[in-house]
Amino acid sequence: MAKYFSRARGLPVLAKAPTGITGFDEITGGGIPRGRPTLVSGGAGCGKTLFSMEFLVRGATQFAEPGLFMSFEENEQELAQNVASLGFDLAALVKRRLLLMDFVRAEQSEIEETGEYDLEGLFIRLGHSIDRIKAKRVVLDTIEALFAAMPNELVLRSELRRLFRWLKGRGVTAIITAERGAGAFTRHGLEEYVSDCVILLDHRVIEQVSTRRLRVVKYRGSAHGTNEYPFLIDESGFSVLPITSLGLNHEASTERVSTGIAQLDVMLDGKGFYRGSSVLLSGTAGSGKTSIAAHLVDAACRRGERCLYFPFEESQSQILRNMQSIGLGLKRWVSRGLLRFHPARPHLYGLETHLALMHRQITQFDPRVVVIDPVTNLTEIGSTMEARGMLTRLVDFLKARGITALFTSLSDSNAEITEVGISSLMDTWLLVRNLESNGERNRGLYVLKSRGMAHSNQIREFILSDRGARLLDVYTGSAGVLTGTARMVQEERDKADVLAQRNETTRKRRELAHKREAMEAQIAALRDRFATESSELQMLIAEEQLVESNIAQQRKVLVDVRSGSTSNGSQNGR
Amino acid sequence: MAVNIKLAETTDEKAARANKQNDKWQLRLYVAGQTPKCLTAFANLKKLCEEHMGGDYHIEIVDLLQHPQLAKGDQILAIPTLVRKLPEPVRKIIGDLSNTERVLVGLDLRPR
């Protein structure tokens, strides 16, 4: 915020006195104008006195500036008692001369006016008190009481004008409180005199829910946030919450955090959410939103990170018990101080107060993971627009701090329309749906969007068991998308089909083997026959050759015989 | 008009030491320095006391410029302020006491 009100270079800048009030110094860029009076106006019970008292206490304790509280309504004891509940020990500060309380009682009934006068007595008293503790800060609460006590308003007005000038001359940083008047900032028009800085406190009740708000109406010579800021008064004092969306300049982390459900991590690019991202988890009643949230919390606590859980429907022990039933022992994280629950009914406060409280809890606990369960309940207290505005601020705040946030959202059957219209604020949107078929309800989970990662487009069946949440691939086959029993039946049927198929193949294979055997046998037989035949043929051929050679021999013999006789004869004849 | 308050104060204090307990009227006038208003108030008071209290009175002047811590005791805001300590009850009258009628009413010397 300091950057937002960056100072103009080289120009003298209005000096500011930090109030030390949480958030207030941020919206005013450093506090109230130093050395000048500031008007704090508001109706009865708005916290004017507390605001100004805290200004003094913080000034004394944090900035070593002694303060004077001049009260026109309550005496010292009453004041000390009133702020003791906020943890301010006024008596100790008084003892250390850092605080001086001065009760001015002014009642008209005792006063008779007999001529000209001025309020020099008040000036002297104020001056004396300032000198006693060397006060740098002064509160006049509420000086309007003088209007009831002083018979002559003209004198009073001119004296007040002189008083504020005098305060400026003394160089003290002053707060003047005033009752809010009809149609004006103050009942007696004090804003006419105190013109440097005007702060309006408001306590509004809308539909039986009250919200405290603060607005800087005017701040001469300084930029300031002009919105109405909710503020809180609780045991640690006053805090203003500068929860407007100033800009979208948070650092985007590339670090990933596990969702605590391995299969869900797989769906989200295999790594889970981005750290510091905002996750919307919407689903119908009983779809297991809290269980998914609990897994995220459990995973974070395992990593040793702090988690803050804001349940709006269940108490801490109820959540712990229920999560134990799905095997998540969150109790140990609570006892180790890693997990903190802040259950609250939505109707307990207004939206702004809820936001303010969350803001404070988050600032104090400094968690890495925040769960808001469910965010839709907040719409019950405000209009959709208000709820959206509040969530925008919450999301911005969480992002600026790098906190991973999970918002659950209860949706009706038409789940893709988020009630608050917040989906556009979210980085990741998970949807849990009840898939109804065959007389069963089964949970299906899918990632509707997830910025900056390649996420799965599949619907997974989401199962809660005593060992936590699991995601299963849904059955997508010839029979369509099936879940639950139907999926199991179909899977069994598929298994049977596969088995049958396998048997058939085996049978066919065996048949073929048989055929082959038969074929081979036949071949062997044929071959045998062939062999036999061919051997017979060989024998025939051999026989034939033998016969032929015998014939030839015999013929030769015959020839020899015939020619032998001749030769013999010839021989004889010669 | 040229009354020296300091002188008067010392005179009165002497008188006070003598018979403070005895005087019926115990009055205290708060002033802040010698401003015209304060001087007028003192003169008016003196005159009025002489006329209506027959010397049975005691006036104490408190100058808040010199004793600022005394402003708290009687819850003094306006200057000048006249406080009637005695007779009881305590009465406060503010202004320069120029409206004699109102002063007398304020001091219960006249019915309201």
Q: Which residue of A lies nearest to B62 if distances are taken between CA atoms? A: A121
What is the model's pTM? 0.65
Residues in chain A: 574
Shortest CB distance from B77 goes to which of A104, A115, A127?
A: A104
Interface test with B, best of A68, A71, A105, A114 (most B CBs within 10 A): A114
Which positions ≥6 away from A380 have C-beta within 8 Å? A346, A347
- Cβ of A105 under 8 Å from any chain B Cβ? yes
pLDDT, residue A244, reads 54
Burial class for A157, CB neighbours closer than 10 Å (0-12, 13-18, 19+)? middle
Contacts of B65 in chain A (CB under 8 A): 124
Point out which residues pair with A372 in neighbouring strands.
Answer: A310, A407
Burial class (CB in 10 A: 0-12, 13-18, 19+), A195: middle
Q: Kind of pairing, strands B25-31 and B57-63?
A: parallel
Lowest model confidence (mean pLDDT) among A287-301, A437-451, B5-19, B68-82: B5-19
How confident is the model over A317-328, as a mean pLDDT?
A: 89
| A114·B69 Cβ contact <8 A | no
Q: Number of Cβ pairs closer than 8 Å across A and B?
A: 100
The reply to whether B93 falls in a domain is yes
Q: How many CB atoms lie within 10 A of CB A85?
A: 11
User: Are A118 and B81 within 8 A, CB to CB?
Assistant: no
The secondary structure of residue A401, as a DSSP letter, is T
Asked if A166 has any chain B CB less than 8 Å from its own CB, the reply is no
Which among A111, A128, A146 has the least Cβ separation from residue B92?
A: A111
A162 reaches B (C-beta below 8 A): no
CA A279/CA A430 separation, integer angstroms: 8
B94:A128 CB<8 A = no
Residue-by-residue DSSP string for A479-511:
TEEE-HHHHHHHHHHHHHHHHHHHHHHHHHHHH
Q: Which of B69, B72, B95 sits opposite A117 (nearest CB)?
A: B95
Of residues A99 and A227, more confidently modeled: A99
pLDDT tens-place string over residues A131-165: 999 999 999 988 888 888 777 888 888 888 899 89
Q: pLDDT of A33-76, one tens digit each? A: 999 899 998 888 888 888 888 899 999 999 999 999 999 888 88
Give the DSSP H or E segment for A69. strand A67-71
Q: Kindly tell me the sign of the dihedral angle through the C-alpha atoms of A74, A75, A77, A79.
A: positive
Please judge whether A112 and B91 are an interchain contact, meaning their C-beta atoms are less than 8 angstroms apart: yes
Sheet with A111-113, strands from edge to edge, namely A111-113, B91-94, B81-86, B25-31, B57-63
CA distance A502 to A80: 90
**Cα–Cα distance measured from residue A59 to residue A387, given in angstroms and rounded to the nearest whole number:** 36
Handedness of CA A10, A14, A15, A20 (dihedral sign): negative
In a domain, B111, yes or no: no
Q: Where are the alpha helices (DSSP H) in A187-341?
A: 262-267, 289-302, 316-324, 331-335
**pLDDT greater at residue A268 or residue A246:** A268
pLDDT at A226: 73
CA distances in angstroms from A97 to A63, A90, A129, A494, listed in the order given: 14, 10, 11, 87
| pLDDT on residue B54 | 76
Residues of A with Cβ-Cβ distance to B80 under 8 angstroms: 117
The distance of A118 to chain B (nearest Cα, Å) reads 5
What is the SS3 string spanning A455-476?
CCCCCEEEEEECCEEEEEECEE
Nearest to A400 by CA among A244, A250, A253, A252: A250
pLDDT of amino acid B22: 65
Nearest to A112 among B68, B71, B102 (CB): B102
- What residues of B are in contact with residue A111 (Cβ under 8 Å)? 78, 92-94
Which H or E run includes B59? Answer: strand B57-63
pLDDT of residue A514: 94
Please check whether residue B41 lies inside any domain of the structure.
Answer: yes
pLDDT band at A104 (very low <50, low <70, confident <90, very high): confident
Where residue B73 sits, what CATH number does that domain have? 3.40.30.10
SS3 label, residue A302: helix
Chain-chain contact of A112 with B94 (C-beta, under 8 angstroms): yes
Task: Return the top range by mean pLDDT from A261-275, A347-361, A468-482.
Answer: A261-275
Residue A110, both tokens: 């005792």
- Using the predicted structure, report yes or no on whether residue A542 has a pLDDT greater than 60: yes
Give dist(CA A51, CA A69) in Å, integer: 12
Percent of chain B with pLDDT over 70: 79
**What tokens does A242 get?**
């500068």
Which domains are assigned to chain A?
Answer: 16-240 (3.40.50.300), 256-473 (3.40.50.300)
Q: Assign A426 a pLDDT band (cuts: 50, 70, 90).
A: confident
Give the C-alpha separation, B95 to A549, whole Å: 182
pLDDT at position A208: 67
Q: How confident is residue B9, by pLDDT bands cut at 50, 70 and 90?
A: very low
**Cα–Cα distance for residue pair B35/A497, rounded to 1 Å:** 116
- Please judge whether A121 and B98 are an interchain contact, meaning their C-beta atoms are less than 8 angstroms apart: no
Helix (H, G, I), strand (E, B) or coil at A189: coil
Q: For residue B108, what pLDDT band results from cuts at 50, 70 and 90?
A: confident
Which H/E stretch holds residue B81? strand B81-86
Taking contacts as CB-CB distances below 8 angstroms, the residues of chain B near A117 are 37, 78-81, 94-96
DSSP code, position A259: -
Are the CB atoms for A151 and A108 separated by under 8 Å?
yes
How large is the greatest C-alpha to C-alpha distance in chain B, in angstroms? 36
Strands (E) in A207-265, as ranges, are: 209-219, 228-234, 237-240, 256-257
- ∠ CA A53-A54-A58 to the nearest 5 degrees? 125
User: How many folded domains does chain B comprise?
Assistant: 1
Whether residue A112 and residue B105 make contact (CB cut-off 8 A), yes or no, is yes
Question: Which of A378-382, A409-413, B70-74 reaches the highest mean pLDDT?
Answer: B70-74
A207 pLDDT band, cuts 50/70/90, is low
Instruction: Say if B112 falls within a structural domain.
Output: no
Strand, coil or helix: what is A172?
A: coil
Nearest by CB to A128, from B30, B44, B68: name it. Answer: B68
Q: Which residues contact A574 (CB under 8 A, 6 or more apart)?
A: none
* Selection from A116, A188, A125 nearest residue A155 by Cα: A116
- Mean of the pLDDT values across residues B84-90? 82
Domain, as residue range, for B27 = 5-15+23-106
Q: Of the given ranges (A344-353, A550-559, B85-94), which has the lowest mean pLDDT? A: A344-353
- Residue B99 with chain A: CB contacts under 8 Å: 114-115
Q: CB-CB: which of B77, B82, B91 is closest to A106?
A: B77
- Amino acid code (one letter) for A165: R
pLDDT tier at A301, thresholds 50, 70, 90: very high
Q: What is the ipTM of this complex?
A: 0.81
Q: Residue A407 has which token pair?
A: 């918002």
Q: Please determine, for residue A405, whether its predicted confidence score (pLDDT) is greater than 50.
A: yes
Give the separation between CA A205 and CA A211, rounded to whole angstroms.
6
Number of H helices, E strands in chain B: 3, 4
Most confident of A183-187, A526-530, B56-60: A526-530
Residue pLDDT, tens place only, A105-132: 877 666 778 888 888 888 999 999 999 9
- What mean pLDDT do residues A249-270 have? 84
Predicted confidence (pLDDT) per residue in A355-397, tens digit: 878 888 888 899 999 999 888 777 777 677 777 777 887 888 8
Q: Which of the residues A120, A125, A146, A160 would you substitute to probe the B interface, choosing the one with the greatest number of B C-beta atoms within 10 Å?
A: A120
